[in-house]
Amino acid sequence: MKLAILDRDGTLNPLADDYITSADEWMAVPGALEAIARLNHGGWHVVVATNQPGLGRGLFDVVALNAIHAKMHRQVSAVGGRIDAVFYCPHAADEECACRKPAPGLLEQISDRYGVERHEVQVVGSCAAHLQAGAALGAQLHLVCTGQSAHVHPGGPLPAWLPPGSRVHASLGDFVDQLLPPAPAAAAPMAAAPLPASGDAGF
């Protein structure tokens, strides 16, 4: 199985000034959902791993979070894609859990659930915590220059927190461009054979 684990905030949706607490507040980064569909069509399973400390702080509840993710699922489905599952950590930063990124617990749960060797997993996101969790997992790491990393440019100076071996992409779509083999060029149509002249028996 080919598995990509994506971050949510800043990668699939723009960063908000505060927590996204309702489905009405959630919108996709332009091109991100189409990139997921292209991954799917290339044979990749896509799972989202996200820290949601607003749950632990009581800023929204599981019903609201499920509504947000239901909207995300509907919108990616509308462009021909699929997110297999969303795994989230509900804990606040001071709870010292094993699943809050940059700890690798959430990503370990995903790779174990899907039975994928950890070094074969593609971990893709725009924030330090997601990439650092991927590094602890032993996965292949990809930074996309949106959200917290909108100031980073491929080929330019890399942030000091970026784990060694990470690759940098302008967007999620650019990551997919580099991951998937180029589509074969369509063959030119063959010219039709000329019809026999009128009155020609053909032999």
Task: Give the tens place of pLDDT for each residue, 85-138.
Answer: 999 999 988 898 999 999 999 999 999 999 999 999 999 999 999 999 999 999
* pLDDT exceeds cutoff 60 at 182: yes
* C-beta atoms surrounding 155 within 10 Å: 7
Q: Which residue has the higher pLDDT, 190 or 93?
A: 93
The 3-state DSSP class for residue 4 equals strand
Q: Does 194 map to a domain?
A: no
Per-residue burial over 20-33, b if 16 or more Cβ lie within 10 Å, else e, is bbebeebebbebbb
Q: Does 203 map to a domain?
A: no
Answering whether pTM is above 0.85, one says yes
Domain count, the chain: 1
Q: Does 188 map to a domain?
A: no
Q: Does 184 map to a domain?
A: no
Q: Is 115 left (phi over 0), alpha (psi -120 to 50) or beta?
A: left
β-strand partners of 109: none
Domain residues for 94? Answer: 2-179
Please confirm, yes or no, whether 94 is among the known catalytic residues. Answer: no
Query: At 144, phi and psi to the nearest 5?
Result: -105, 140
Please confirm, yes or no, whether 9 is among the known catalytic residues. Answer: yes
The domain spanning residue 13 has which CATH number?
3.40.50.1000
Query: How far are the Cα atoms of 21, 23, 48, 100 from residue 162, in angstroms, in the given order?
Result: 29, 31, 20, 18
Q: Does 189 map to a domain?
A: no
Q: Does 198 map to a domain?
A: no
pLDDT-above-90 percentage for the chain:
80
Q: Does 195 map to a domain?
A: no
**Residue type at 4 in one-letter notation:** A
